A and B are shown apart, each in its own frame.
Chain A
Amino acid sequence: MPHPKIRLAVRTVIDSNSQNPWDRYIFEDTYREYLMQQQLYNDKDNPKNTFRELLAENPKAEKLHFLTGMAAEHYVNQLKGSFYRITDVLGNTFFPFTGYRLDIINTDITDISRHKVGITLFSPLLTYLGIVNNCYLVSFDTDLAAGYETVMFPVQPQVAICYLEGGKPDQGGSG
């Protein structure tokens, strides 16, 4: 029976307390981009200072997640598809990802310290073989095979299964 296939997602929150240079570059660039893009949706003379107020007033401002997120693209690309903060159990495979999405938690056009965004990275399709020792047991090999080379990523906060096809997750665990 074919195993279900999943995608994993990892989300990291970036705010004014973030220390890492990658975080800082994204923090600054997305804030600048937000300042520019919010002008599409905000009132010119009486603008809403925070994103959440703006969104409540103008639901179209929901597009700002995407538009602001474009500013992070170069930095995400510099990781070349491997998120080095999440490793597998052996410590030599990084979390692989094919795409990213930015979400604005909140921000303020008058106060950069209130800027807070989340970046979600999505893995490629993985064969899901269950949870072993509180780790996702997955394989990059998505063709049906008798045996799989597997990688184990610890179950941890901020990592989740975000996509599933071909059956329920617990089908894989009993194999």
Chain B
Amino acid sequence: MRVKISRIYLEDKTPDPMERKDFIKNSLGFLGMAVAVPSLLKTSHALAEDDAADSCTVSPSETAGPFPTITPASWIRTDITDGRTGVAFTININIMNKNANCTALQGAIVDIWHCDKDGNYSEYGGSGMQPANYTSVHFLRGRQVTNANGQVSFTSIFPGWYTGRATHIHVHVYNTSGQSLLITQISFPEGANSAVAQVSAATAYGYTKGMSGYTYNANDNVFSDDMAGAELGSVTGTVAGGFTLDHTIYVNGPVLGRNEVSKPQYGLGQNYPNPFTETTVLPLTLEYDSEVSINIYDLNGRQVRTLYKGSMNAGANNFTINRDGLQSGFYFCKVAVSYGNGTFEESKKLVIK
């Protein structure tokens, strides 16, 4: 009989054939839209607010700003503890691609989340706030992108447990474009000397429940049908020294031989430094020798500079951009790469001080 628990987020799902939709593009797609240039980025006096555009007003210490800088996906981090205490825990996950002879899948996005030592998730109750001081909480949630070996690793604390569920970690694997490949959970080994048993008894680390009332994997409504132990992680270590979980997950990743434009090895990084005053470096990694054009557009979509038009070698290219008389402000740097039959484009925001 299924036990109804309000805290279960998702069921285990078997992998589905991959769809062809490509959600996530890095290019802005805003170049066609009329965007008002912020009237002044540096100001020494307060400007009146009006409805159409926001102006910078002077900060209490009379310095310029704020300059928001673009940051990639905010989940991405190795240490996901956010101040939660417990037994030290390292989570290592390998993602393997069933559609590529079960070899490592590089560039996959892996999200994990789990409860703290008391069995609570960040955002339980639908508010995401610490009621006492109204600070936002996102503890024990994180994202990583797999390396060439298909690996991600997180620093966390050993999860607790809550009524109705065995100890578990939620995992969501996406391909490079953000399309979901698999939503699953990781179960933990059980037994008298298992990590779960040892940690549940570790009152010195704040785990107060012991194993009384614990739901074991055989009775857990997600894991009870996992006869082959495909969801079972392997855990080693000690309470004092911390535990490590190692687990391999198989997904239906990209099929070998498809020449898609969003190859994992291609990469256009954010230029650094950004904002910049005189020069900045734009890192561009190419899968193959390609024809590349790099141009700068202002916020109205007008091309203001032609930086480069020619061939570039496969591999890492660090392209230096000079200010070249451009006014302070916001621009887009659009990179167009041609190889074989395809051309694709990507844009990054540039801020000149």
Contact = CB atoms under 8 A, between A and B. Distances in A.
Given A70-B74, A70-B75, A91-B57, A101 B127 contact: yes
Interface string B95-136: 000000000000001000000000000010011111001111
Contacts, number: 126
Given A25-B68, A36-B180, A78-B69, A109 B23 contact: yes
A109 B30 CA distance: 17
A84 B135 contact: no
A100 interface: yes
Nearest to B41: A21
B180 A99 contact: no
Contacts of B73: 29, 32-33, 71
Contacts of B236: none
A22 B53 CA distance: 12
Interface string A54-81: 0000001011011101111111101110
Nearest to B16: A44
Contacts of A69: 128, 136
Contact of A66 (B35, B53, B123): B123
A140 interface: no
A39 interface: yes
Contact of A32 (B24, B135, B136): B24
A12 B126 CA distance: 20
A93 interface: yes
Contacts of A63: 9, 123, 126
B135 A99 contact: yes
B60 interface: yes
B54 A20 contact: yes
A75 B71 contact: yes
A94 B56 CA distance: 12
Given A21-B330, A35-B24, A63-B126, A101 B136 contact: yes
Given A40-B10, A100-B136, A74 B129 contact: no
Interface string B168-205: 00001010001110010000000000000000000000
What 7 A-B pairs are tightest by C-beta distance, nearest first?
A39-B180, A74-B71, A20-B54, A122-B134, A22-B68, A66-B123, A66-B128
Interface of B: 9-10, 16, 19, 23-24, 28-30, 33, 35-36, 38, 46, 49, 52-54, 56-60, 66, 68-71, 73-75, 109, 123, 126-130, 133-136, 138, 141, 172, 174, 178-180, 183, 330, 349
Given A19-B53, A35-B24, A44-B16, 16 more contacts: A21-B68, A25-B70, A36-B178, A36-B180, A40-B10, A44-B180, A60-B9, A69-B128, A69-B136, A70-B138, A73-B74, A76-B136, A78-B66, A101-B128, A101-B129, A125-B133
19 contacts: A16-B33, A19-B52, A20-B38, A32-B23, A32-B73, A36-B174, A36-B180, A40-B9, A40-B10, A40-B183, A65-B128, A70-B75, A73-B138, A78-B68, A85-B54, A85-B57, A92-B58, A99-B130, A99-B135
